[in-house]
A and B are shown apart, each in its own frame.
Chain A
Amino acid sequence: MSQANDKSVDTMNIGASFTAAALPAAIAFLALYFFYKSPVFLTFNNWISISVQIASLMTISIPFAILLMAGKVDLSVGSMVGLSGVVAGLSFPNLGITGTVVLVLVVGLAIGLLNGFLVGVLSMSPIIVTLGALTLMRGLAQWLSPSPLFDFPEAFTFIGYGRLLGLPILTLIMLTVLAVGLFVMARTPLGRHTVAIGVNERAAYLVGIRVKLTVMLLYGAVGMSAALAGLMTIARINSAPSGTLGVGVELSVLTAVLLGGVPFTGGRGSLLRVALGVWLLGMLSNGLILMNVPTTASLMITGLVLVLAAALDVLRTRRG
């Protein structure tokens, strides 16, 4: 009997290990496949290129994932990217680079805190509030900048292509955001409180967690990170088109975060897996372009890979 139990536990462990490794395995498999089809794929330069291409997405996804772990969502991040780009473009001539960066981050933080106030303190629906903010900010961006803004100061656009310590600055910013996120979740009370709120908000309140303040702070962090991502994007493209900048980013972020295993209901999740989710999206896009897969086929393949990755994650979750 005891032997049978041991065997069962072993089988479960093997199964759990297999499913836990599903996302990294999917990435490894895809990497090998793309390498087989296009040897350029696995070159250091190409991977650096992928890291730059996903930098903005990762910068938003990390705090977004933490917010989702608390059971809340922010669908306004795409428009925040657009608005921050436009505010930056308009501010450069008067405020200079430092002043502009500070202003944009403060605007992002303030809008995030306002979202957090409406959701956390006034208990309004996160989806309604942030969808409203999504529309409002897009309208505001277009009103502020009916004409295109482009050709920003060289010292600023350097952030978009320059390197520090051999790595692109955008990659370094992305890694810093990831490191801060990991530190917050592993080493600070905020991380534990976030998960507790996601598991049971009422219970978290009863044990003394300041739920409203925590939710506000998390929304503030997401707003600021989206503003930072907006700055990163306009530094990269050297332009801030108010109509299209950041459009659809919220869906990419949500896809990456859900792919990384954070459930929509919150209560659990791993930032490292979210980072892998973002990487998988970037890698897929890069590999399919290298192979020159037609867009229609590319969309189907991307969808299929995402569904497979999600299915593997469900298996992992069920096995506990």
Chain B
Amino acid sequence: MAALVYVAALWLNQAAAAENDPSKVTIEEVRAGGKKACEGGKKFKIAFSHSVSEAAIVKQVRHFADKRAAELGCVTVLHDNTQANNLEQQINAVQGWITLGIDAIVVTPIDESALKPFQKQAQAQHIKWLTYLGKMGGSDGFVGFDHAQAGQLIGKAAVDWVKSKKIEHPKALVTTLTGLPSIAPRWTEVEKLFAQAGIEIVAKQDSADQASGLTITETVLKQHPDLSVVIGLNDDAAVGANRAVTVAGISPDQIFIGGQDGSFEGLTAVNQGKAYKASAAILINELGANVVDLALNAVAGSGPSFAYTPTVLASKADQALLDKLIANYKN
């Protein structure tokens, strides 16, 4: 009996540890759990609400979630139409899913406090509540990727490039999105690395889309024609910066542009081998599949339900990986 209690306590501790540190969970564990959940022959319905479903990369994540669901054959994925971080749209969708009585809801919480009552309502009806990117207390699972890892990867790549070029007073532009503090490690990690390496951040501005990325870079280049590094909060901002640099006729050897996310357009720009040198790319095929598997694991208890999807550095230095990431978008 004592041994049983000990084993149970050990298992609970491990589960708690995994919840506290989702980065320790491997993709294989997540996949195995999802597969196991389907073995009983039961059919599941899960729903996924992203806050910016209009973004190309989110469409691709949804595509891979649907693909994994089709592969497993026991689960249907419902999607909503929440766009531009519209909280009301998200709440309406979540309310509808609770009424439907589905098995699990995976949601990017636009406003955690506003969604809290719906989390309680869902969990009271035995609907598992998982969050995507943002975290909420008392959740049954977490589908995430590590913003700090992305910031570190792209920051380190830029520092390495600056060192290899022996630039004396390197200057950088970093784009941010101050309205979304939950993703701040995307730029704060870069700032830390740049401070250590003596790279001066001469401009720090909000930008998450191509048009503003272009305008900001164009303007900063007027003030600092010797700009050596641009780090985009995401690939869209970096693609805009890349356009500004190209139009300004700056030699690709003189500047490092880096993005984050690994969008198709960003990866294509990296593949051209010019100023856009790297993107901290999330493995979106795995991320999409994780939406399904982690939700199933939470419902069936068949495996871990808290996990990070790895982020990798996509650059010409590893052409095979870059090709693989680009091929993800062609499936």
What residues of chain A have their CB less than 8 Å away from a CB belonging to chain B?
38, 40, 43, 45-46, 49, 53, 138, 142, 146-148, 150-151, 160-161, 233, 236-239, 241-245, 247, 285-286, 289-290, 292, 294-296, 298
Min CB gap B245→A, angstroms: 12
Given A142-B54, A150-B265, A161-B247, also A294-B209 (CB < 8 A): no
Cβ contacts A to B, 5 pairs, < 8 Å: A49-B219, A53-B219, A241-B209, A290-B220, A298-B205
B209: A residues at CB distance < 8 A:
241, 244, 247
B329: A residues at CB distance < 8 A:
147
Given A150-B265, A243-B54, also A295-B176 (CB < 8 A): yes
Tell me if B286 is interfacial: C-beta within 8 Å of chain A. Answer: no
- Bound Cα distance A149, B239 (Å): 13
- Bound Cα distance A138, B53 (Å): 12
A147 touches B219 (CB 8 A): no
- Bound Cα distance A142, B263 (Å): 17
- Bound Cα distance A46, B215 (Å): 12
B223 touches A40 (CB 8 A): yes
Given A243-B54, A292-B204, also A148-B223 (CB < 8 A): no
- For chain B, the bracket of interface size reads 35 or more
A289 touches B56 (CB 8 A): no
Min CB gap B54→A, angstroms: 3
A292 touches B215 (CB 8 A): no
B263: A residues at CB distance < 8 A:
148
Tell me if B284 is interfacial: C-beta within 8 Å of chain A. Answer: no
> How many contacts A-B (CB < 8 Å)?
91
* Nearest A residue to B60, CB-CB: A147
Closest 7 CB pairs of A and B: A243-B54, A295-B206, A161-B247, A289-B219, A148-B56, A237-B210, A244-B209
B54 touches A244 (CB 8 A): yes
- Bound Cα distance A242, B265 (Å): 13
B222 touches A46 (CB 8 A): yes
Type the 1/0 row for B190-210, where 1 means its CB is closer than 8 Å to any CB of A: 000000000000111110011
Given contacts A53-B219, A147-B59, A150-B239, 7 further A-B contacts (CB under 8 A): A138-B83, A146-B59, A239-B210, A241-B56, A289-B219, A292-B203, A298-B205
- Bound Cα distance A114, B206 (Å): 37
B56 touches A49 (CB 8 A): no
A244: B residues at CB distance < 8 A:
54-55, 209-210, 236
B83 touches A243 (CB 8 A): yes
Min CB gap A167→B, angstroms: 15
B240: A residues at CB distance < 8 A:
237
B52: A residues at CB distance < 8 A:
243
